[in-house]
Amino acid sequence: MEGKSKRLAVLVGCNYYNTPNELHGCINDVLAMRDTLVKRFEFEAANIEVLTDAPGSSSPLPTGANIKLALARMVDAAKAGDVLYFHYSGHGTRIPSKKRGHPFRQEEAIVPCDFNLITDLDFRQLVNRLPSGASLTILSDSCHSGGLIDKEKEQIGPSSVISKSEAPKNYTYTPKTIPFESILQHLSSLTKINTTDIGTHLLESFGEEASLRFRLPLPDPELSTPLRADNGVLLSGCQPDETSADMRPNEVSAKAYGAFSNAVQMVLTENPGTISNREVVILARKLLQSQGFQQHPCLYCSDENANATFLWQS
């Protein structure tokens, strides 16, 4: 990853305004990260695409199709040595696996504003499409985000540690998750189809824009196979079976934020020099535990990239 490289980013914040699933800090999270990318990590503002559902925003809505289109453009524009970054702050969910022999297994997904789920298999496809020598770092501040790149190697994983301290006062906590049953109910109300197979509803509603996870057989089976020592890096806000926190201040003057996004910002501020992916996650874990949060960030990547500097800062 040495030498001059292009730095590209897609930042997505979903607050789901005026819905039963409303969050409050997700757009703040990605706007703060945009500033950090420019000021610290030498990203050019023109190379950062921001998608939010803020009322009156001129940016494209963070629908499933728009998010995947933005990510595809970024990957297609990449060349060897380029540094790509995707930051997502919003709801996550888990869906029943369709794999034979795994009746109780669940797969991870993020929930765009139109409920067109983007799954771990979609992120695996993106990583597999990277040009040799390019990297894609994903930071997902969402529930059940551990394992969001399918089959990526776990470096820092599930923890049995339970914090006994209290969560921050003067804030209202909202878990960044929409249960599978709620998503199924919403999609069923749109399709009017009587089935519990969520793939049927997604394909009926979104057609070819639906996740690869629900298309069988896959368009290209190789897209779901991890490449040896790939350059995909996932920093997840929590373990696959945990929720991530959205914090809404009770005071008007304070800003809402995602607990993991905020922890990463604090870690970067407290460590102005180079810092590895492993160190970012470990320090964010410790910080969240000290603040009383019940979520444990995880790291998924190759052995080499675990100790590489975050966003290959020189």
> Which active-site residues does the annotation give?
91, 143
Q: Which two tokens stand for residue 89?
A: 């702050």
Closest to 77 (Cα-Cα) out of 30, 126, 149: 126
Q: In this structure, what are the phi and psi dihedrals at residue 238, rounded to the nearest 5 degrees?
A: -165, 175
Classify residue 216 by its DSSP letter: S
Token match 């607050």: residue? Answer: 15
Q: Residues 6 or more apart from 58 whose CB is under 8 A from it?
A: none
Classify residue 167 by its DSSP letter: P
**Whole-angstrom distance, CA of residue 55 vs CA of residue 301:** 36
Classify residue 309 by its DSSP letter: B
Cβ atoms within 10 Å of 21's Cβ, excluding its own: 20
Q: Residues 6 or more apart from 193 whose CB is under 8 A from it?
A: 200, 201, 204
Length of the chain: 314
Q: Residues 6 or more apart from 56 whose CB is under 8 A from it?
A: none
Closest to 152 (Cα-Cα) out of 185, 130, 173: 130
**Whole-angstrom distance, CA of residue 144 vs CA of residue 255:** 24
SS3 172: strand
C-alpha 302: how far from its chain's center? 18
